[in-house]
Amino acid sequence: MTLSAAMALAAPTPAGAEDTEPAVVVNGTFSSPTVPADKTFTAGVDGWTSVGGVASSTRAGHPQGFQAATLGWNGGGISISTRLRGIRKGATVTLTWDDNPDICVTSGNARRAYTTTVAGDTNTPGSFASNTPTGKPNWFLGRTYSFTAVEDAPQITFTSTDTDKPNCGALIANVAAKQTAPPLTPPQGGASSDPCSGDAKDNPQCKDLAADKDKIEKCPPTSRDCLAGVAGDGKAEKDGIAKETQAVEDFGKVPRDQDPNKAAGDLCALPNALTTGLQPGDAVVPPSDWWFC
């Protein structure tokens, strides 16, 4: 790998660079709630904070047939916002969407103006204006706004800035996002991971452990006498080893070779006691034929 390639890999990804990992935008196509067939708008935007509502696919006239959220409602301009779930602090994000001046404005009206904002001192609000009003759908496809998340699940907001006929705000549709997630960081340790931290340090077991640790730390590793005072002299262990050694020696002294007749004679006491009272006719095969004794 060349030096320049290594530097490129090490450099952090700035906001505005290509973000490729898809991120979830709840109800980004504004399909919910569905506008009834006999209406052009319905109140509410599921998954978003809005005092307004959504335009039907017929009213919106989006080339892909989407419904659209409006930035104008009840005589004035409004805001709509939502949180981008699954995006962590430190991620770079590229937001995309489409906008339309809506058919309620014509060539005599100004282009529909609005801002896109997200928290963060370095995230400058984006200012946008729709295509020229014509009295019919005139969509701009593929607006973009890039930022660096300063919190988990950052909130994005579209806000109308219209001064000309603000009740007829821009229509927003097809909101999507991609991100470059920040690297995962290992969990941070601390006093809370120590079972003897805080009030637990006064437990008898923790006091004993602390005392033993203190004794060991004060002993140089070359001092047998000092370490013996902490760990003991091992007398019990030595006695146990000595007993095992003696048992092995005693086992080795047991004679393994013995005269067969003597061994059989020692074994005959029990069977002889069981067969002494048997008469020749009491068994098909006399004991003397099937037993050594």
pLDDT digits (tens, 9 = 90+) for 79-96: 999 999 999 999 999 999
Q: What is the pLDDT of residue 231?
A: 62
Average pLDDT over residues 192-213: 68
Q: What token pair was written down for 117?
A: 């904002």
Is residue 234 predicted with pLDDT exceeding 80? no
The reported pLDDT for the residue numbered 208 is 67
Tokens of 222: 């070359």
The whole-number average pLDDT for the span 100-109 is 95
pLDDT one-digit tens code per residue, 266-291: 666 666 666 766 666 666 666 666 65
